[in-house]
């Protein structure tokens, strides 16, 4: 068992290969257990699209010794909360509960994760629930716009496919296939258990090592296609129309680096704050407050394992779309070409550094941060975020802008009211 210390934070590798991250927050009476697994939609063979998310639902449907619903009832009637989420790079399951109840709740979560039975009747019924989730998403114009953009940006890479899958594909799946996917991927070497809050390291190690035992034997499972890292050549523009829309959406997207180049990724995060986070950011100030061309505009950077995504999105009247897109392109050229005033750079740094500080005040987001980094990189890499951000100077940032955010190569997805 190896130990790596950094203040109140510990990362351990258990004998079976499971990663355990612990961070004690002595002041809180609450504990969060957050289990992260490299078993997201990126692990699906093409014809199994939607399997990882559907499995996340089915995990809650019991084990040989735990009937469906017992775990939820147990956690919630002890005053706790539990839920789960699936993305392309991960799936994770979490509990928030009073510190002294963790020893009662965690063994059951581990049992569900390791020994899910995936009963056939529950499989058929839960599929109806997933189909409802898809229908609900299809009534959300922003979700539809995002999916259309992701498809264009990522093409054949799994990031281009909806995590929810499609009705037709889900209808063709069987409980046996799902068991296979589960046993292949829910293995200790793919798993990080994060425990944060009012609990000691010693207790944590004891509870976690006793809970996460007897992993199933891994079985062969169809592999996902080798992901092709996409590139964007030229400007790809797509327009779609939707009923019941009151205004148009413009989404512009650029590809960023993968997790192997965190420094560039954090730099792009800084640029997103500079351009489009807060009323005094460049695009919000110009497009919304001064020229009043948009209802809202925002820039965002989303870190992903294979390749990240930089987006600028605007909500606006149909007749302003072309003009706003042209202005944004122009501002990106300017960003690369003209010195960034110190005040702009410092503002963006303060914004991101404080957001980071605010986001780890409570144990749940702190656990999420460790789990995410542990799943796509290494948990301790999250500690490099603030120092890396602080070190950026304006020249390096402008080089990043001209390298990644060129107005010559990007994807533009426009949604209009029909």
Partner 1 sequence: MTASLLSTSRLYRTVLSNGLTLIGLENPAADIIAARLFIGTGQILETPETHGLVSFLMALLTKGTTTLSALAIADRVESVGASLGTDAAPDYSVISLKTVSADFEEIFTLATQLLRYPSFPEAEIDLERRLALQYLRSLQEQPFTVAFNHLRQQLYGDHPYALSGQGSETSLGALTQADLMAFHRQQFGPDNLVVTIVGRIPPEQAVDLVERTLGDWPGTNQPRPQPTLPSLTPRANCRVIPQNTHQAIVMVGYTAASIQAPGFAALKLLNTYLGSGLSSRLFVELREKRGLAYDVSALYPTRLGASQFITYMGTAPENTAIALAGLRAEVERLSHSLLSEAELQAAKNKLLGQYALGKQTNAQLAQILGWYEILGLGVEFDQRFPAQVAAVTALDAQLIAQQYLREPSITLLGPEAAVTPVGEAEGADREFA
Would you tell me which residues interact with partner 1 (CB under 8 A)?
Answer: 25, 27-30, 60, 68-69, 72-73, 76-83, 96, 98, 125-133, 135-136, 138-141, 243-247, 278-281, 285, 288-289, 292, 295, 315, 343, 346-347, 349-355, 357-358, 361-364
Q: Nearest approach, Cβ of 183 to partner 1 (angstroms)? A: 24
Looking at residue 178, what DSSP letter applies? H
Q: Nearest approach, Cβ of 6 to partner 1 (angstroms)? A: 18
Q: Nearest approach, Cβ of 307 to partner 1 (angstroms)? A: 28
Segments in 60-159 forming alpha helices (H): 70-77, 102-115, 120-138, 141-154
Q: Nearest approach, Cβ of 64 to partner 1 (angstroms)? A: 19
CB of 98 or CB of 235, closer to partner 1: 98
CB of 25 or CB of 232, closer to partner 1: 25
Q: Nearest approach, Cβ of 372 to partner 1 (angstroms)? A: 20
Find the helix packing angle between 141-154 and 120-138, rounded to 10°: 100
Q: Nearest approach, Cβ of 185 to partner 1 (angstroms)? A: 23
Beta bridge partners of 249: 315, 415
Q: Nearest approach, Cβ of 89 to partner 1 (angstroms)? A: 23
> Which H or E run includes 412?
strand 410-417
CB of 57 or CB of 236, closer to partner 1: 57
What does the DSSP assignment read for 254-319?
A: EE---GGGHHHHHHHHHHHHHHHSSTTSHHIIIIIIIS---SEEEEEEE--SS--EEEEEEEE-GG
CB of 206 or CB of 355, closer to partner 1: 355
Q: Nearest approach, Cβ of 272 to partner 1 (angstroms)? A: 14
CB of 90 or CB of 315, closer to partner 1: 315
User: 162: helix, coil or strand?
Assistant: coil
Establish how many alpha carbons lie within 13 A of residue 176's alpha carbon, considering only the half-sphere containing its beta carbon. 2
Q: Nearest approach, Cβ of 219 to partner 1 (angstroms)? A: 28
CB of 87 or CB of 304, closer to partner 1: 87
CA 364 to chain centre: 15
Q: How far apart are CA 400 and CA 418, in angstroms?
A: 38
CB of 97 or CB of 150, closer to partner 1: 97
Report yes or no: 382 and 388 within 8 Å, Cβ to Cβ.
no
Report yes or no: 60 and 129 within 8 Å, Cβ to Cβ.
no
CB of 221 or CB of 294, closer to partner 1: 294
Q: Nearest approach, Cβ of 315 to partner 1 (angstroms)? A: 7
Beta bridge partners of 81: 96
What does the DSSP assignment read for 183-212?
A: HHHS-GGGEEEEEEES--HHHHHHHHHHHS
Q: In what order do the strands lie in the sheet with 81-86?
A: 2-6, 9-13, 19-24, 191-197, 30-37, 91-98, 81-86
Report yes or no: 138 and 144 within 8 Å, Cβ to Cβ.
yes
Report yes or no: 169 and 49 within 8 Å, Cβ to Cβ.
yes
* Per-residue exposure over 92-105, b if at least 16 CB sit within 10 Å of its own CB, e if not: bbbbbbebebbeeb
CB of 85 or CB of 131, closer to partner 1: 131
Residue 380's Cβ-count burial label (10 Å; 0-12, 13-18, 19+) is: middle
Q: Nearest approach, Cβ of 318 to partner 1 (angstroms)? A: 13
CB of 66 or CB of 255, closer to partner 1: 66
User: 56: helix, coil or strand?
Assistant: helix
Closest listed residue to residue 240, CA positions, set 124, 111, 138: 138
CB of 142 or CB of 322, closer to partner 1: 142
């Amino acid at each position: 068992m190896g130990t790596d210390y950094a203040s109140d934070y510990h990362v351990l590798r258990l004998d079976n290969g499971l990663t355990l991250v612990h961070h004690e927050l002595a002041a809180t009476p609450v504990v969060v257990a957050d289990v992260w697994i490299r078993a997201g939609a990126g692990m699906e063979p093409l014809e199994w699209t939607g399997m990882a998310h559907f499995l996340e639902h089915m995990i809650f449907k019991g084990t040989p010794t735990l009937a469906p619903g017992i775990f939820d009832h147990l956690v919630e009637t002890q005053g706790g909360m539990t839920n789960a989420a699936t993305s392309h790079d991960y799936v994770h399951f979490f509990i928030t509960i009073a510190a002294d109840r963790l020893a009662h709740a965690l063994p059951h979560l581990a049992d569900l994760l390791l020994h899910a039975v995936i009963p056939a009747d529950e499989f058929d019924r839960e599929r109806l629930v997933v189909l409802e989730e898809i229908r609900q998403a299809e009534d959300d114009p922003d979700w539809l716009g995002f999916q259309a953009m992701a498809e264009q940006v990522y093409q054949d890479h799994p990031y281009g496919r909806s995590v929810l899958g499609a009705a037709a594909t889900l209808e063709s799946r069987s409980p046996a296939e799902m068991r296979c996917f589960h046993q292949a991927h829910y293995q200790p070497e793919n798993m990080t258990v994060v425990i944060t809050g009012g609990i000691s390291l010693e207790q944590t190690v004891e509870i976690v090592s006793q809970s996460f035992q007897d992993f199933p034997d891994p079985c062969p499972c169809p592999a996902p296609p080798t992901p092709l890292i996409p590139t964007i050549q030229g400007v790809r523009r797509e327009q779609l129309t939707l009923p019941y829309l009151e205004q148009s959406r413009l989404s512009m997207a650029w590809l960023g680096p993968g997790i192997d180049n965190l420094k560039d990724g954090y730099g792009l995060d800084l640029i997103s704050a500079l351009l489009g986070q807060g009323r005094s950011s460049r695009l919000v100030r110009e497009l919304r407050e001064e020229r009043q061309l948009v209802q809202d505009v925002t820039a965002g950077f989303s870190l992903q394992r294979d390749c990240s995504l930089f987006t600028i999105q605007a909500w606006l009247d149909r007749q302003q779309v072309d003009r706003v897109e042209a202005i944004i392109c122009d501002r990106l050229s300017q960003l690369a070409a003209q010195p960034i005033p110190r005040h702009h750079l410092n503002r963006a740094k303060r914004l991101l550094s404080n957001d980071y500080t605010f986001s780890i005040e409570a144990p749940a987001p702190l656990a999420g941060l460790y789990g995410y980094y542990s799943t796509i990189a290494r948990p301790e890499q999250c500690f490099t975020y603030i120092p890396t951000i602080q070190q950026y100077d304006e020249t390096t940032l402008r080089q990043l802008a001209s390298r990644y955010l060129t107005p010559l190569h990007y994807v533009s997805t426009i949604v209009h009211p029909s």
